[in-house]
Amino acid sequence: MHQRLGMAFVAAWRLKATGSSGCYVSFELLSATLAVAAISALLAFHNIDFPFGVHPDEAIKVGFAFGQPDNYRHPPLLIVLARFAAWLDGAVHDRDFRLAGRTVCAFASVAASVLFYLVLRRYADKLNAFLWGCVFAASPAITIHAHYFKEDAVLIFAICIGLHALVRLRERTDSVDLLYFGFALGLAITAKYVGVANSLVLFVVAITYCKLEWRQAAIVAAVGALTVLAVYTASLLTETGSGLSTILRGFVIELNHVEEGHDLKEWFFEGYGLTHFRYHLIPSLTVPTMVISLGAIAIAILGDRNRAVAAFAGAAIAWLFMLELSPLKIIGSMRYVLPVVIYLLLAAGIACSKAIAPRSHWMSAGLGLLAMAASSHASIEYTGSMSRENDTRFAAMRFLETRGITRFFADYLMGEPAPETRDYRDLSSVDYLVSQRFARYLRGGGLSEQPQLTYVLAGMFRCLDGHVAAQFSRLYGDYAYVAPTVKIYDLRQARFCIPDPAELGP
């Protein structure tokens, strides 16, 4: 009797998803998918209510979600979703809109992790697909950016859904999959402007890889265009004061931003073409995961000539190279490398399955577990550092408060109200400087062709290094606004370090 009940239970899980295809969702696949989703959700939602005011862009997004006119310097998919989530939640206050936006990003990361796993299952064995799906879901790149009300998590989701739609289209070119692929390409375009390049490349790959006829390609293009139109229309209908001119102006401003970079410019040759790789990609994946990934990929390509690994690794390298060419790569902006993370981990998962597992199943499983453990440990520590109790900014503020220090300026957001200086002209009126930006200018002082102000401030901070009253940092910090190193400089005996206002420019 118990045996029959058990067999009936298993059979119940193996229900056919579509009668025409004969495919079914097995208990094993469902369990693995739910496990990946659970890992992603636990990390994405951990400390999601961290204090407002530590990320400079969240306040702007909250205003857009509230219904203020968007400036369209980013496509509006995130804002449309956040407005809808806020409406469902009955949001009234800023905090409600902030949490609505962060929740959208957290769910986008969970969905991206599931889609990543489903794509990887098409190329890798079940065990390696699961292990590297967990590596992706638990990597700092995914978990940290799931917390911020920013476009990055939505872009990750859009790229992953595009890849999932592509592999489905390869397996079966029917009307449903054509519509799905076109929808996915449109989503990426409305998630972030770099999604345009990703969608164009996937479209070309689909035409050649899936051997699409011109009519099928036209359907994909039409659905993608309609998706873009629908998202922009929904954005314009849920706000007032914006129009086509606003959209075009925002796009032009962002395009110029990519070309010109920030006030600090990281040139390609000064970083040996590896600025993003060293300072952003490695911390986003952890050192063990990066070493394992590159080693497995090298074996798969050089030793086994695996085309799938070469294709995904090539996509990761192409993304990284294009990012390195732009001066838009201030150290600390890990979000730029997120597309690279997707393609690199797909290549690594396939490589472990196709190149390492045939040589040793135990080694393949061990490497996957090691990468998963390293990623999970780092993400747990990083998300733990986001709480008010562990954040370095709040530790610095408590240091000042307990000593009764009120004559100070902070040069960046502290997560709570604090007197702020933007140009360092007024330092002579205070006794202490609370700085998060010292590292930016110290690095900029060693780069060529920077604005003169950068060199002046670099000299100031080098001089102030001998007058540090306190320093706050965490082992797992300085990652994408998570627990940055904060220095409190005592200016009382260091007035000579402060530049003359004339040196700071007009």
Q: What pLDDT score was predicted for residue 14?
A: 42
Q: Tell me: pLDDT of 394 over 80.
A: yes
Who wins on pLDDT, 500 or 181?
A: 181
Q: How far is CA 428 from CA 237, 443, 469, 503, in A?
A: 49, 24, 17, 14
Q: Using 50, 70 and 90 to split pLDDT, how confident is the model at 25?
A: low
Query: What pLDDT does 267 receive?
Result: 81
Residues 6+ apart with CB under 8 A from 144: 334, 379, 382, 383, 479, 480, 482
b/e burial code for range 397-418 (CB count within 10 A of at least 16 → b): bebbeeeebeebbbbbbbbeeb
| Residue 105, token pair as written in the block | 């990003």
How far is residue 202's CA from residue 329's CA, in Å, rounded to a whole number?
25
Give the residue extent of every domain in the chain.
24-384, 392-504
Using one digit for the tens of pLDDT, what is the confidence trace for 56-114? Answer: 899 999 999 998 899 999 999 999 999 999 999 999 998 999 999 999 999 999 999 99
Task: Give the whole-number percent of the chain exceeding pLDDT 70.
Answer: 95
Question: Among all chains, which residue has been given the structure tokens 């370090």?
Answer: 497
pLDDT number for residue 24: 52
What are the backbone dihedrals phi and psi of residue 488, each rounded to the nearest 5 degrees, phi first?
-110, 115
122 three-state secondary structure: coil
Sign, CA dihedral 356-357-363-364, equals: positive
**Long-range CB pairs of 132-135, under 8 A, 24+ apart, other chains included:** 132/345, 132/348, 132/349, 132/352, 132/368, 132/371, 133/32, 133/36, 133/349, 134/35, 134/36, 134/39, 134/372, 134/376, 135/289, 135/345, 135/348, 135/349, 135/368, 135/371, 135/372, 135/375
pLDDT of residue 159: 98
pTM comes to 0.91
Whole-number pLDDT of residue 20: 38
First to last CA, the chain: 87
8 Å CB contact between 138 and 376: yes
Question: Three-state secondary structure along 294-321?
Answer: HHHHHHHHHHCCCHHHHHHHHHHHHHHH
Residue type at 66 in one-letter notation: F
Distances (CA, A) of 71 to 74, 86, 186, 358, 376: 8, 20, 20, 53, 37
Q: What mean pLDDT do residues 459-472 have?
A: 96
Phi/psi class of residue 241: alpha, beta or left (left: φ > 0; alpha: ψ in -120 to 50)? Answer: left
Q: How far apart are CA 350 and CA 345, in angstroms?
A: 9
pLDDT of residue 448: 87
Across 7-16, 346-355, 392-401, 442-451, least confident range: 7-16
User: Is the backbone of residue 335 left (phi > 0), alpha (psi -120 to 50) or beta?
Assistant: alpha
Residue with tokens 């949001």: 91
Residue 467 makes CB contacts below 8 A (sequence gap 6+) with: 489, 490, 491, 493, 494, 497
Helices and strands (H and E) in the chain: how many: 21, 4
The residue among 448 and 157 whose pLDDT is bigger is: 157
pLDDT value at 400 more than 90: yes
Residue by residue, DSSP assigns 233-283 as HHHHHTSSS--HHHHHHHHHHHHHHHHH--SS---TGGGTT-HHIIIIIHH
Q: Averaged over 288-311, what is the pLDDT? A: 97
At 455 the pLDDT is 94
Q: Which of these, 374, 288, 348, lies nearest to 128 by C-alpha position?
A: 348
Residue 50 is predicted with a pLDDT of 93
pLDDT of residue 379 exceeding 70: yes
Nearest C-alpha neighbor of 492 from the set 470, 471, 461, 468: 468
pLDDT, mean over the chain: 91
The partner residues of 164 in beta bridges, in order of sequence, read none
Beta-carbon contacts of residue 188 (< 8 Å; ≥ 6 apart): 155, 158, 159, 162, 195, 196, 198, 199
Dist. CA 11–CA 6, nearest whole Å: 9
Half-sphere exposure of 85 (CA within 13 A, CB side): 22
Average pLDDT over residues 273-282: 92
**Residue 270: pLDDT band with limits 50, 70, 90:** confident
pLDDT at residue 328 is higher than 80: no
- Order of all β-strands in the sheet with 468-472: 408-410, 432-435, 486-490, 468-472
Residues 6+ apart with CB under 8 A from 173: 210, 211, 212, 216
pLDDT of residue 504: 79
Average pLDDT on 116-121 reads 98
Give pLDDT, residue 243.
Answer: 87
Whole-angstrom distance, CA of residue 324 vs CA of residue 329: 7
> pLDDT per residue over 487-496, tens digit each?
999 999 999 9
| Amino acid at position 92, single letter | V
Q: Is the pLDDT of residue 370 over 60?
A: yes
Contacts 24+ apart (CB under 8 A), 215-220: 216/173, 216/178, 219/175, 219/178, 219/179, 219/182, 220/178, 220/181, 220/182, 220/185
- Please state which of the ranges 45-49, 259-263, 279-283 shows the lowest mean pLDDT: 259-263
